Amino acid sequence: MTLKISVIGIGYLGAVHAASMAELGHDVIGLDVDPARVAALQAGRAPFHEPGFEELLRRGLASGRLRFTTDYEELAHADVHFLGLGTPQQADGFGADLSHLRSAIASLAAVLPARDGAATLVVGKSTVPAGTSRSLAATIEQVAGVRLMWNPEFLREGFAVQDTLTPDRLVYGVPDPDVEDDRVALLDAVYAPLLEHRVTRLVMGYEAAELVKVSANAFLATKISFINAVAEMCEATGADVTDVSRALGMDDRIGHKFLRAGVGYGGGCLPKDLRAFLASAEEHGVGEAVGFLHEVDAVNQRRRARVVTLAAEMLGDLAGRRITVLGAAFKPDSDDVRDSPALDVAARLLEAGADVRVTDPEALAGAARRLGPERVVAGTEDALAGADLVVLLTEWREYRDLDPATTRRLVDMPRMIDGRNVLDPRQWREAGWEIRSLGRAA
């Protein structure tokens, strides 16, 4: 069944969702208040780096099933409206800023016609604190025939298309899961091709659906900080964290994923969702129960500081020393520099007086905005020229594949900090490098 679908907020999540829904055969319109973003997408250009997305976008546009607008009036007759708006960290606190979501709901409510036949479904996909859906429902459901569901999104940057079209599970939040609810059948119709491929869908209360999402991200952050805390123990005792992590991960109950020690997590989601979870728990009077998440955040910050300490151990005074930072994005296959550990470390090294150069295959624009254009160099070879120290902070394939002998000829002094544990220290030492890795003894 082809449905008329709108996606409000076509940032990362919304744009991928809109193109994916068109791929499933629906008739989709994406809306954003930013005309430049709308124009780029309408012209088939992805405003961010995401493997596979641009092809999907172009296929959708060519099929006539996908278009973009800035005008809410054009959405009025859709059957299902997805909300893909961002919920950034508040400017003056840890909580989530819901203002984009609230203003979108108000703009949508103003154009929705009261339907007495088929229901209109509004489906939230943004990451929100528990309690948000119920309060938004109270506003939007005042329009006759409108129903709200919460359907959190679990996509990872770099795998966004794959995660949207073949998710691990679909979570549907409804006001009361014990009551038969026709909104479930409507969302099932949207996702029919996924459900036919045996994707499991779980129906639960609004608050549970909201909590699945924030606790998933808090758990992932905790898992990373856990291994990074062990990495500190390894540095202190002479153990190698990659040995510990490998053996730990072979226990099925623990698993290998998100157990890579290094400079820690960043990005637009894990850090802010962890803090929003803390703020929300405080508001509900259970802050103490999740107090350990403050430590998770602190361990993550400590790893960044550790890189600067290591650099000082290797170079002595950092003032005026040429340091090349490999990587600016918060992770490989992304041009996203939000809360990027690599850029944060680069900024700390700059502050300590070092002459820092940063390079990245995709995130140079973001790096230049944060550090200044004079700090950014395109191309690995040019960036490495004349370095006293190289610091690998985002594990792009091309950095993992660097050859120690060839790289040595490019730099002034063969010194390396591997902030992601992706280089073989023995191989680099044999080629004459002094190399330090996070979580491995010198």
Q: Is 271 in the site for ligand UGA (CB under 6 A)?
A: no
What is each CA distance from 112 to 4, 23, 122, 235, in whole angstroms?
A: 14, 25, 11, 60
Q: Which of 101, 128, 155, 174 binds ligand UGA (CB under 6 A)?
A: 155
- Residue 50 interacts with ligand UGA (CB under 6 A): yes or no: no
Q: Is 407 in the site for ligand UGA (CB under 6 A)?
A: no
Site string for ligand UGA, 221-240 (x = CB under 6 A): ---x----------------
**H helix or E strand, kind and range, residue 333:** none
Nearer to ligand UGA, 224 or 345 (CB): 224
Q: Between 328 and 347, how does the x/- string for binding to ligand UGA read (CB under 6 A)?
A: --xx----------------
Closest separation between CB of residue 400 and ligand UGA, Å? 13
DSSP code for 23: H
DSSP secondary structure, 344-360, as one string = HHHHHHHHTT-EEEEE-
Number of residues that bind ligand UGA (CB under 6 A): 22
Check residue 267 for interaction with ligand UGA (CB under 6 A): yes
Say which amino acid occupies 222: T
48 makes contact with ligand UGA (CB under 6 A): no
Distance CA 246, CA 296 (A): 21
Toward ligand UGA, which CB reaches closer, 14 or 264? Answer: 264
Taking the alpha carbons of 341, 273, 159, 44 in that order, is the dihedral positive or negative?
A: negative
Q: Which of 262, 366, 425, 439 binds ligand UGA (CB under 6 A)?
A: 262
Active site residue 269: yes
Candidate residues 87, 217, 380, 437; the one interacting with ligand UGA per rule CB under 6 A:
217
259: contact with ligand UGA by CB under 6 A = yes
Q: Which run of H or of E encompasses 269?
A: none
Q: How far is the CB of 167 from ligand UGA (least distance, A)?
A: 10
Secondary structure of residue 392 in the 3-state scheme: strand
Kindly tell me which residue out of 17, 147, 260, 306 binds ligand UGA, with binding defined by CB under 6 A.
Answer: 260
Whether residue 140 contacts residue 109, with contact meaning beta carbons closer than 8 Å, is answered with yes
Q: How far apart are CA 153 and CA 170, in angstroms?
A: 8
Report the candidate in 25, 42, 26 with the shortest Cα–Cα distance to residue 34.
Answer: 42
- Please, which residue, 48 or 258, has the CB nearer to ligand UGA? 258
How many Å apart are CA 290 and CA 278, to the nearest integer?
7
Q: How far apart are CA 321 and CA 133, in angstroms?
A: 52
**Which residue type sits at 430?**
E
What is the smallest separation between the CB atom of 257 and ligand UGA, expressed in angstroms?
7
The span from the CA of 286 to the CA of 270, in Å, is 21
| C-alpha to C-alpha distance for 175 and 192, rounded to whole angstroms | 22
> CB under 6 A: which stretch of 138-146, 153-161, 179-187, 353-361 binds ligand UGA?
153-161
Active-site option among 66, 104, 186, 269: 269
Residue 429 to residue 411: CA distance in whole angstroms? 15
270 binds ligand UGA (CB under 6 A): yes
**Touching ligand UGA, residues 111-140 (CB under 6 A):** 127
Rounded-to-integer distance, Cα 179 and Cα 56, Å:
37
CB of 220 to ligand UGA, least distance (A): 6
Minimum distance of ligand UGA from residue 16's CB (angstroms): 11
**Binding positions for ligand UGA, rule: CB under 6 A:** 127, 153-157, 217, 220, 224, 258-260, 262, 264-267, 269-270, 273, 330-331
Active site residues: 269
